Amino acid sequence: MPFALNHINLWLIEDDDGWTLIDTGLNFEKSKSYWQEVIKNQLKNKPIKQIICTHLHPDHMGLSGWLCEQFDAQLWMSKGEYEGYQSISSEIINSSPNPAVYDFYLSGGASLKQAKLYDKYINIYSTFVYPFPSKYKRLVNNEIITLGGHAWQVVVGSGHSPEHICLWCKALNIIISGDQILPTISSNISVYPKAPHANPLNNWLISCKNYINVLNSQTLVLPAHGKPFTGVIARLNDLVNEVEDNLKDLAKTCETPKRVIDGFGVLFHKEINQKTFMLAYGESSAHFNYLMHLGVINSHVDTHNVTWYSSIK
Nearest 5°: the CA angle 153, 155, 159 is: 165
Q: What is the pLDDT of residue 97?
A: 63
What number is the average pLDDT over the span 207-226?
97
Q: Where are the domains of the chain?
A: 11-243
What number is the average pLDDT over the span 246-252?
97
Average confidence score pLDDT of the chain: 96
- H, E, C per residue of 74-135: EEEECHHHHHHHHHHHHHHHCCCCCHHHHHHHHCCCCCHHHHCHHHHHHCHHHHHCCCCCCC
Q: What is the pLDDT of residue 296?
A: 95
What number is the average pLDDT over the span 250-279?
95
Q: What is the pLDDT of residue 4?
A: 84
> What would the CATH number be for the domain defined by 11-243?
3.60.15.10
Q: What is the pLDDT of residue 90?
A: 87
Q: What is the pLDDT of residue 53?
A: 98
Please tell me whether residue 240 adopts helix, strand or coil conformation. helix
Kindly state the helix (H) or strand (E) to which residue 51 belongs, with its residue range.
strand 48-52
- pTM, two decimals, is 0.95
CB 162 within 8 A of CB 149: no
Buried b (16+ CB within 10 A) or exposed e, 8-35: bbbbebeeeebbbbbbbbbbbeebbeeb
Question: Is the per-residue pLDDT at 177 higher than 80?
Answer: yes
pLDDT tens digits, residue range 43-83? 999 999 999 999 999 999 999 999 999 999 999 999 999 99
pLDDT tens digits, residue range 82-126? 999 999 998 888 766 678 899 999 999 999 999 999 999 998 999
CB 11 within 8 A of CB 20: no
